[in-house]
Chains A and B, each alone.
Chain A
């Protein structure tokens, strides 16, 4: 599925240049350099970026400008990176954060 807006009556036309490939959950995707991960994945039809740490419910972008942290993923081993603010790079390894084995509530309780 390709969701790119290549023609636009006011903003003009774009060339569809897939010049960067990266992996998301071990699958290879292609995107345009200097576009954020969230946009590259959505252009490939991927909406679910992670599963909630406690409930396991699927999550995608919400604000798309770095304010809500709903889009956090692991990039090259670094967790909690915002997919909407991170430009894709050649060979980038991106993974979803999934439901944690232990409910978050448990350790929070012990701390208090």
Chain B
């Protein structure tokens, strides 16, 4: 029997590998990063019960479990291409070529950029970049930063930067225009942040508690100052202004923000400079699905899942024989959901490899994805369940239609 090959050592890939190995399969996991754990590595927040979700611990736990089960994990190994040749999947990397009958893509997500004048200056980076620098590599992205884009991920990372002693000068909304109007309406933005409200470390809540007037704001850690605007976890959020430029000679020196009209026009004289040595851009996440694309999977654009997702069923099978997907490649969600999807994918691979008697376990694992989703502490898209239903409808249509 050939080895099961898994691309991606994040929570989805590692959980799938562990599941396969427990069923007696030989597993190889490939990842281009130098550490196992994927984007889980950078995650850090306080759970509602007061304990901390420490992504490094969780990743190490999964990795050690994989090692103990004899799973081979090859890091620093980017996969450049995959294709099906004579009933076998061929996986190309710089050094080696691997072959398998069962290939799982657990490549996760990527960040959408938001171009802002000056955004190519050294010191401008995605919020995820700042998260990895701070929490994984333990290097400060800078001393004082500005975050452009207020969403669940950037709010969580702003908090993580503060924990590490990095100053966040302010968070700003993207420039107002017809398309981003929801993203620039203060109440709507604050509502969209509710999913992260409980992630505010209790310390921050305590600091701000005197200023908080009602339960909603207390939960969110948000305070309103009539003149200065809104603060979350003590970070000013500019709601009526936009960054018109990131400036600096050879690297970031700061940003210029200005009050803009609802048409996005700068009100003359309102420009203000905020000094900073780094700027984070938060444009949201989308599934990283190129390998499924080159393999020939049909794709559907599902906004509720963050972008184009390869067609798949509840058991994490694609329409292509022997090709599976799990985790953020199927839609943007937190690490716990990704892990349960990995378990389901692992069971499907085991069943399709000829191991019998798994039907009940597979059905239970499919249900446990829903269950985990319902209890998710962080939700990137409020209508993710509707998105998942749409994929299942497309799956049925593909086979019946």
Interface, chain A (partner B; CB < 8 A): 3-6, 8-11, 14, 34-36, 39, 42-43, 47-49, 52, 57-68, 70, 84-85, 87
Bound together, the chains give a CA A64 to CA B110 distance in angstroms of: 11
Asked if A10 and B54 sit within 8 Å, CB to CB, the answer is yes
Our count of residue pairs bridging A and B at CB distance below 8 angstroms stands at 101
Interface size counted on chain B using CB atoms at 8 A: 39
Residues of A within 8 A of B39 (CB): 65
Which among B116-124, B300-308, B342-350 touches the partner chain?
A: B116-124
Asked if B125 and A60 sit within 8 Å, CB to CB, the answer is yes
Asked if A85 and B32 sit within 8 Å, CB to CB, the answer is yes
Bound together, the chains give a CA A3 to CA B121 distance in angstroms of: 19
Asked if B288 and A67 sit within 8 Å, CB to CB, the answer is yes
Residues of B within 8 A of A34 (CB): 34
Residues of A within 8 A of B113 (CB): 62, 68
- Say yes or no: is B64 at the interface (Cβ < 8 Å to chain A): no
Partner of B129, one of A49, A59, A64: A64
Q: Which of B287-327 contact A (CB under 8 A)?
A: 288
Partner of B122, one of A35, A58, A84: A58
Closest chain A residue to B166 by CB distance? Answer: A5
Partner of A11, one of B33, B54, B78, B121: B54
Asked if B165 and A5 sit within 8 Å, CB to CB, the answer is yes
Asked if A59 and B138 sit within 8 Å, CB to CB, the answer is no
- Say yes or no: is B137 at the interface (Cβ < 8 Å to chain A): yes
Instruction: Tell me the smallest distance from the CB of B76 to a CB of chain A, in Å.
Output: 7
Asked if B137 and A9 sit within 8 Å, CB to CB, the answer is no
Residues of A within 8 A of B126 (CB): 62-64
Asked if B164 and A87 sit within 8 Å, CB to CB, the answer is no
- Say yes or no: is B251 at the interface (Cβ < 8 Å to chain A): yes
Asked if B135 and A60 sit within 8 Å, CB to CB, the answer is no
**Which of A4, A35, A60 has the largest count of B CB atoms less than 10 A from its CB?**
A60
